[in-house]
Amino acid sequence: MKQLHTTTFPSRVFRSLLALSACALVAAGCGPGSMSQTQTLASATSPPSMAELDQINRINSALAAAALQTSSPTADYRLAPEDLVEITLYNIPESEAGVTPRKVEVRVSQEGMITLPLLGDVRAEGLTVTALEQALRARYDKYLHNPQVGVYVKQFRGQRVTVTGAVRNPGVLELTGPKTLIDVLSMAGGIGDKAGSQVHLYRQGPDGRQSYVIDLQALARNPGLVNMPVQAADVINVPQSGMFFVSGAVRRAGSYPLAQTYTFTQALTVAGGVDGELAAYGEIAIFRRRDGLEAEKIPVNPNEIFAGKARDPLIAPDDVIVVPVNSFKWFVKRFIGGIGLPGIPTP
């Protein structure tokens, strides 16, 4: 998924209701403290109706069918320790292979490196196959004219992801090879009877924690558009129905039961309040799904609410409150504040 500015969502994603993945906050780099561990609490909900059970069964059937039809995202797979890769130098005929063989098999070390004749150690961990091919071409270019390099993953090491919430078989799954979100939900037995309308994916990236909120109906109906590859250590959560979600620059981002009537400001209080050092106050919004797969963006300004200039809206089930990170504030806090420049207090 491409990186997003904290205040902008890709139109293609918004139209398909991956609009609810507005919480990605990647480009502004959610700082390590800006998104806490998700808290999915028990919700006192009534048993699902026959209509709700029928909808859940339809979603599970669609997810199972999509899992059979979609191909594994090998192109998006990122190499990790213990992967076995085969590297071929097409410029070198088999009969002329000497110090530099035409084809070699190497395993990615625990340090994320591969060791090749002529080149020595090359970092492979975290790279896609295409990225590693490009890196090797640049290195071999010192020794060969227009080097043609091919990389093939012969063995995938087991990678673990955690599936929690309203799925039929929650737990830690061992994946052998690239998998998508639909693949993992299918491996977990599909969504359970108490599942809400969303699935959340949490990932620890280089700039902190990233979160994605994907609508289950959109995932089932448009897998080619909404489905996404999973990575090692991802946490996938299917919250129960009757929850609301707070993401971004708050003290305790996560999922919370809507066990009573909450206003917007009360919901923020449940999430520990806004992180004033990071929040973009003028861009806070509630994302609410309407009929079908459309999502409504409801801008909310806490300062106007506190000043009595705007009403405090009520929170509905499955609402996603997004408090975007102000990129300038984040830069000041992480970089300038971190080195204690004069006039900028160090957090």
Q: Which long-range contacts (CB under 8 A, 24 or more apart) does 339-347 make?
A: 347/277
Which of residues 188 and 68 earns the better pLDDT score?
188
Q: Same domain for 168 and 289?
A: yes
Global pTM?
Answer: 0.64
Cα(105)–Cα(276) distance, integer angstroms: 52
Which of residues 66 and 228 earns the better pLDDT score?
228
Instruction: Decide if 19 contacts 12 (C-beta within 8 A).
Output: no
Q: Same domain for 70 and 105?
A: no
- In the structure, what pLDDT confidence band is assigned to residue 293 with cuts at 50, 70 and 90? low
Instruction: Decide if 272 contacts 327 (C-beta within 8 A).
Output: no
The domain that holds 26 is classified in CATH as: 3.10.560.10
Whether residue 47 is predicted with pLDDT greater than 90 in this model: the reply is no
For residue 4, tell me if it sits in a domain. no
Q: Which long-range contacts (CB under 8 A, 24 or more apart) does 104-111 make?
A: 105/154, 107/82, 107/83, 108/79, 108/80, 108/81, 108/82, 108/83, 108/84, 108/157, 109/81, 110/81, 110/82, 111/81
- In the structure, what pLDDT confidence band is assigned to residue 320 with cuts at 50, 70 and 90? very high
Which residues form the domain of 239?
11-74+158-339
Q: What pLDDT does 34 receive?
A: 36
Instruction: Decide if 48 contacts 209 (C-beta within 8 A).
Output: no
Which of residues 114 and 117 earns the better pLDDT score?
114
Q: Same domain for 304 and 331?
A: yes
Instruction: Kindly state the average pLDDT of the residues 208-221.
Output: 84
Length, in residues, of the chain = 347
Q: What is the DSSP letter of 313?
A: P
Total domain count, the chain:
2
For residue 347, tell me if it sits in a domain. no
Whether residue 16 is predicted with pLDDT greater than 60 in this model: the reply is no
CA 138 to chain centroid, in Å, comes to 30
Whether residue 71 is predicted with pLDDT greater than 80 in this model: the reply is no
- In the structure, what pLDDT confidence band is assigned to residue 105 with cuts at 50, 70 and 90? very high
Instruction: Convert the pLDDT of each residue in 238-278 to its tens digit.
Output: 999 889 999 888 999 888 998 889 999 999 999 999 998 88
| Cβ-based neighbours of 335, under 8 Å, separated by 6 or more | none
Q: Same domain for 129 and 269?
A: no
Lowest average pLDDT, out of 89-98, 131-140, 165-174, 196-205, goes to 89-98
Q: What pLDDT does 342 receive?
A: 36
Domain boundary among 102, 131, 155: 155
Lowest average pLDDT, out of 24-33, 131-140, 148-157, 257-266, goes to 24-33
Domain boundary among 105, 138, 155: 155
- In the structure, what pLDDT confidence band is assigned to residue 42 with cuts at 50, 70 and 90? very low
Which of residues 210 and 49 earns the better pLDDT score?
210
For residue 62, tell me if it sits in a domain. yes
Q: Same domain for 163 and 206?
A: yes
For residue 5, tell me if it sits in a domain. no
Q: Same domain for 162 and 275?
A: yes
